[in-house]
A and B are shown apart, each in its own frame.
Chain A
Amino acid sequence: MATQLDTDYFQKDKVLKTVGTRPIKADGVDKVTGRARFGADIHLPSMLHGMFKRSPHPHARILSIDTSAAEALAGVKAVVTSADFPDMKPGTPYDDQTRNMMARGKVFYDGHAVAAVAATSATIARKAVKLIEVEYEVLPHVMDIMEAMKPDAPLLRDDIFTKGVDPKPDKPSNVTERVEYAMGDVEKGFKEADVIVEHHFKTKAMHQGYIEPQACVASYTEDGQAEVWCTTQGHFRFRQVCANLLAMDVSKICVTQSEMGGGFGGKNYSYIEPVAIALSRKSSRPVKLVLSRNEVLRATGPVSGTATWFKMGCTKDGKITAAEADLIYETGPFAGSMFANAAMAGFTRYDLENVKSVGHEVVTNRPKVAAFRAPCVPPTVFGIEQIVDEMARKIGMDPIEFRLKNAAEEGYTTVYGQTFGPIGFTTVLKTAKEHPHYTAPLGANQGRGIATGFWFNRGGPSSATININEDGTATLITGNPDVGGSRVSLAMMAAEELGIDVDKVRPSIADTNALGYNHVTAGSRVTFSSGKALIDATRKAIKVACERAAEIWDVPADGVVYEDGFCRPSSSNVGDFDPLPLAEIAKRSIALGGTIAGHAEIVATGAGPGFGIHIVDVEVDKETGRTDIKRYTVIQDAGKAIHPSQVEGQFQGGAVQGNGWALNEEYIYGEDGRLQNPGFLDYRVPVASDVPMIDTVIVEVPNPDAPFGLRGVGEVPLIPTMAAIANAIRDAIGVRMYELPMSPPKVLKAIEEAEKT
């Protein structure tokens, strides 16, 4: 009777009814009618409006903060500074987090929060912020990673001793850590090469650019409990951060995630929620905190600027013999950029024997960087895929053919030790080669580029509950905020398992009281990890349904099977019973031991890596340096597209974000260390008229360890974009761009320099 749950998530031979179709998503109607509640849309009775006071200096010691005038203003109910938060253990991530949330002793960047107020209206809060007097001792600042690495650079902190070097340095520096990933013998590999290409590259800090600023409401009550509503990619992580930074029990905090207006990695981190709780605690009223766009750009999630160097060699017939990388990533004032991803993933997708990547992470007087789609990988691929393109040119080989010759296959062991199972890189490349875009004619001043990308795809902790309601419909409860259509995809998988229509499954995302810990929605992990959890939960529920049917028929439980929404006798020996629909069993179950339900928590493993290729046509105005994107195609392995429209949406969105990064998006700081473009006017994300339609091809090479064979799809679509556009510019005008963004002044300058030589 105690049969093990089936662990075949892939179900290779199952005839699928729901998976692979395009139903309307459950959150859709609320989003087209304005009903959907995002972070700033929560209003509570007696709620106060909070606002931050921020540093105008990139690096300064705080000598004093005088909040008395602000506190005296009518309508101001609370003011907090770092003094309102407990000290964290030095050198721990929570110490960094509390210092980033509210400066303690020193400010490290323009826009660093130094205080916050709560008042009865936003107008009063704005006035109160202006009344807070902060006295600073301004310190020398350093904005550039190369400058920050120099021995005489201003030191941000005296507690950074570069990790990963032996022996441990005896003096502090701005370099937080060194990593190295290597295998084989690169010296030997370069000796075997007929052609060697090497170059330095630079990329600028940029921003995830989500349209919805961070926002939350917190309500702290006198019994020491707090409720928080916020926009987040991980409400369980936010609860953990609030508990730690406020020294509260985890059980005393409940976080409810709102709809999230874009995150792309930037909403993995809590910036404002502990402050809102502290303000609520001090004022005894609920407090809403909403960042402005200016604050979002000055004080949240930029993406690392980088300085990189790559050297690759190949034989005349196109076999890569060695690959070497030196990677320097900025992280803001605190470690944790995830720069090691770049060293691990940069070359991964090629069948390399001799490879060495060394990375360094450097602190500067910029906001602490945050994740962005395939964190840290795209700037490295920007260089590598141009080097690969150049090698193919030098030996006169088609760039896709060159990559096919070097493509990693199943069984390849990567520089970070993973041995690939079935992967789709070769299929993706072949699909691209046959795509009509690849051979379409080009006009004057136009060029075509391709580039490829790889992402690990992630698993991790997820949980799920499914309740079969008394009418046979199902309520699916999972714990990951929906950033790219995961709710509908999860509902579809549950419907497929249960053999019922997807509109009979209502997906919902639980608050932190309703489920155990779910890791953040990041790394393309949710459809995979929550998918596995919900399949376990659904299979448990089906098992209960079979037991109930057995009880109704008075037969042994193992005499019942579940198929397509019905319980049936497993054979004629069991008895002659009409199949019982799930709805009928569910209705009778209320009296037969309670609701049919299943629940699971897992740490998902076995995510299958993702590979993609982008083909782009550009036209360059040689007189102004302006690049226009004329045609764009994304081809990527999705393993199995649960909801193809959602998958295409990921491909298209990632590619257009990459268009912005490639051509215009960058953080611009003045000599004074202040951000000069903290708004959407001069921080230039692509607008609708900047881009063409983005064609997509979904390749499906299944991952046998994943539900229905799926692979995460959210990260890969950003990775190749900048390199593909750079290769297209090279093809159009014969000039290679080694720096991002490839903005008109830089392209024009490169054209002029090429004409001089």
Chain B
Amino acid sequence: MARKHVATTVNGDTYEFLCDAEQTLLDVLRDEMFLTGSKEGCSSGDCGACSVMLEGKLVCSCLVLGIEADGKTIDTIEGMADGETLHPLQQKFLEENGLQCGICTPGILIAARALLERNPDPSEIEVRYWLAGNLCRCTGYDKIIRSVLDAAADMRGA
């Protein structure tokens, strides 16, 4: 099986690997680059647990082919904190219990950051619709939404 060489930048680091054309970006993040923070919940774009930024756009990495990553820039949950300093969203999710089991959390944090970069002061409804592509089965969303709204307020104040 002829595998293709791919060189990509993830969280600022260069990765090179060989990839089957069938493999998705999520597959290669997890199985070739061992960046397992992005999760597979459905492999059909319906749960958002695999959310990453591809060239600055929020996407489901399960719906991107791994080979498409060649020459592209990707940001994942592993690059969200700045060294030892957590992103305000990460910090707020901890303080306000915006997570239970944690499987949806990386995807939700990546999606929420993308929202706040576009809209620093979203309403509750805007947050809910923006995160509609990120399923959470544990929390009932309440503490997730509050964490995002409160992180946004902190970030505006900072």
A residues bordering B, Cβ < 8 Å?
22, 24-25, 27-38, 40-41, 43, 121-124, 126, 208-213, 259-262, 264, 290, 292-293, 483-485, 645-646, 648-649, 652-657, 679-681, 685-689, 691, 693-694
Q: Quick check: B43 and A292 within 8 Å, CB to CB?
A: yes
Q: Quick check: A293 and B44 within 8 Å, CB to CB?
A: yes
Chain B residues with Cβ below 8 Å from A654 are 140
Q: Quick check: A694 and B40 within 8 Å, CB to CB?
A: no
**20 CB < 8 A contacts A-B:** A25-B94, A33-B90, A40-B30, A40-B40, A121-B20, A122-B31, A211-B47, A211-B135, A212-B41, A212-B101, A484-B138, A648-B142, A656-B139, A656-B141, A680-B46, A681-B46, A685-B137, A688-B136, A688-B144, A693-B142
Q: Quick check: B36 and A37 within 8 Å, CB to CB?
A: yes
Q: Quick check: B46 and A209 within 8 Å, CB to CB?
A: no
Q: Quick check: A652 and B101 within 8 Å, CB to CB?
A: no
CB distance from B49 to the nearest CB of A (A): 6
With A22-B97, A35-B37, A688-B134 already in contact, the answer to whether A261 and B140 are too (CB < 8 A) is: no
Q: Quick check: B135 and A485 within 8 Å, CB to CB?
A: no
Q: Quick check: B90 and A680 within 8 Å, CB to CB?
A: no
Across the interface, name the chain A residue whose C-beta is closest to B23: A123
* Among all A-B residue pairs, the 6 with the closest Cβ atoms: A34-B37, A261-B103, A31-B102, A656-B140, A652-B140, A34-B77
Q: Quick check: B77 and A33 within 8 Å, CB to CB?
A: yes
Q: Quick check: A34 and B76 within 8 Å, CB to CB?
A: yes
Q: Quick check: B93 and A32 within 8 Å, CB to CB?
A: yes
Chain B residues with Cβ below 8 Å from A43 are 31, 34, 36
With A211-B104, A483-B101, A485-B100 already in contact, the answer to whether A652 and B128 are too (CB < 8 A) is: no
User: Residue A646 contacts which of B35, B97, B104 (CB distance < 8 angstroms)?
Assistant: B97
User: Residue A657 contacts which of B22, B96, B137 (CB distance < 8 angstroms)?
Assistant: B137
- Assembled-state Cα–Cα distance A9/B137 (Å): 33
Q: Mark B14-43, 1 if CB is under 8 A from A, else 0.
A: 000000101100010011001111111111
Q: Quick check: A649 and B27 within 8 Å, CB to CB?
A: no
Q: Mark B73-96, 1 if CB is under 8 A from A, else 0.
A: 000111011000010001001111
Chain A residues with Cβ below 8 Å from B40 are 40, 213, 290
CB distance from B144 to the nearest CB of A (A): 7
CB distance from B15 to the nearest CB of A (A): 16
User: Residue B139 contacts which of A25, A209, A261, A653 (CB distance < 8 angstroms)?
Assistant: A653
Is B125 an interface residue when CB atoms closer than 8 A count as contact? yes
Is B131 an interface residue when CB atoms closer than 8 A count as contact? yes
Chain A residues with Cβ below 8 Å from B99 are 28, 31-32
- Assembled-state Cα–Cα distance A24/B97 (Å): 8
CB distance from A756 to the nearest CB of B (A): 37
CB distance from B23 to the nearest CB of A (A): 7
Q: Quick check: B39 and A689 within 8 Å, CB to CB?
A: no
CB distance from A484 to the nearest CB of B (A): 6
**Of listed A31, A208, A686, residue having the most chain B CB within 10 A:** A31
Chain A residues with Cβ below 8 Å from B101 are 210-212, 259-262, 483
User: Residue B138 contacts which of A24, A30, A262 (CB distance < 8 angstroms)?
Assistant: A262
CB distance from A43 to the nearest CB of B (A): 6
User: Residue A32 contacts which of B86, B131, B142 (CB distance < 8 angstroms)?
Assistant: B86
With A484-B100, A680-B41 already in contact, the answer to whether A653 and B78 are too (CB < 8 A) is: no
CB distance from B91 to the nearest CB of A (A): 8
Q: Mark B114-138, 1 if CB is under 8 A from A, else 0.
A: 0000000000110111011111111
With A122-B31, A262-B103, A649-B100 already in contact, the answer to whether A211 and B49 are too (CB < 8 A) is: yes
Chain B residues with Cβ below 8 Å from A35 are 37
Across the interface, name the chain B residue whose C-beta is closest to A35: B37
Q: Quick check: A211 and B34 within 8 Å, CB to CB?
A: no
User: Residue B44 contacts which of A27, A37, A680 (CB distance < 8 angstroms)?
Assistant: A680
User: Residue A680 contacts which of B20, B37, B47 (CB distance < 8 angstroms)?
Assistant: B47
Q: Quick check: B43 and A293 within 8 Å, CB to CB?
A: yes
User: Residue B41 contacts which of A28, A213, A645 (CB distance < 8 angstroms)?
Assistant: A213
Q: Quick check: A691 and B140 within 8 Å, CB to CB?
A: yes
Across the interface, name the chain A residue whose C-beta is closest to B134: A688
Chain B residues with Cβ below 8 Å from A123 are 1, 20, 22-23
Chain B residues with Cβ below 8 Å from A680 are 41-42, 44, 46-47, 135
CB distance from A722 to the nearest CB of B (A): 15
Across the interface, name the chain A residue whose C-beta is closest to B98: A32
- Assembled-state Cα–Cα distance A394/B81 (Å): 60
Across the interface, name the chain B residue whose C-beta is closest to A24: B94
Chain B residues with Cβ below 8 Å from A484 are 100, 138
User: Residue A211 contacts which of B41, B81, B97, B142 (CB distance < 8 angstroms)?
Assistant: B41
Q: Quick check: B41 and A293 within 8 Å, CB to CB?
A: yes
- Assembled-state Cα–Cα distance A725/B35 (Å): 42
CB distance from B38 to the nearest CB of A (A): 7
Chain B residues with Cβ below 8 Å from A36 are 102
Is B152 an interface residue when CB atoms closer than 8 A count as contact? no
- Assembled-state Cα–Cα distance A262/B134 (Å): 15
Chain A residues with Cβ below 8 Å from B41 are 211-213, 261, 293, 680
Chain B residues with Cβ below 8 Å from A37 are 36
- Assembled-state Cα–Cα distance A483/B146 (Å): 22
Chain B residues with Cβ below 8 Å from A483 are 101
Chain A residues with Cβ below 8 Å from B94 are 24-25, 28-29, 32
Chain A residues with Cβ below 8 Å from B129 are 688-689
- Assembled-state Cα–Cα distance A416/B129 (Å): 46
Across the interface, name the chain A residue whose C-beta is closest to B105: A31
Chain B residues with Cβ below 8 Å from A262 are 100-101, 103, 137-138
CB distance from A144 to the nearest CB of B (A): 27
Chain A residues with Cβ below 8 Å from B39 are 38, 40, 211-212, 261
CB distance from B112 to the nearest CB of A (A): 11
Q: Quick check: B103 and A38 within 8 Å, CB to CB?
A: yes
User: Residue A645 contacts which of B20, B36, B143, B145 (CB distance < 8 angstroms)?
Assistant: B143
- Assembled-state Cα–Cα distance A209/B44 (Å): 15
Q: Quick check: A693 and B145 within 8 Å, CB to CB?
A: yes
**Of listed B77, B105, B129, B141, residue having the most chain A CB within 10 A:** B141
User: Residue B140 contacts which of A33, A121, A293, A694 (CB distance < 8 angstroms)?
Assistant: A694
Chain B residues with Cβ below 8 Å from A38 are 36, 39, 102-103
Is B109 an interface residue when CB atoms closer than 8 A count as contact? yes
With A652-B143, A689-B128 already in contact, the answer to whether A32 and B90 are too (CB < 8 A) is: yes
Q: Quick check: A32 and B105 within 8 Å, CB to CB?
A: yes
Q: Quick check: A32 and B138 within 8 Å, CB to CB?
A: no
- Assembled-state Cα–Cα distance A19/B46 (Å): 39
Across the interface, name the chain B residue whose C-beta is closest to A40: B40
CB distance from B109 to the nearest CB of A (A): 6
Chain B residues 58-86 with CB under 8 Å of chain A are: 76-78, 80-81, 86
With A33-B81, A649-B97, A680-B42 already in contact, the answer to whether A689 and B137 are too (CB < 8 A) is: no
Chain A residues with Cβ below 8 Å from B138 are 262, 484, 649, 653
Q: Quick check: B37 and A33 within 8 Å, CB to CB?
A: yes
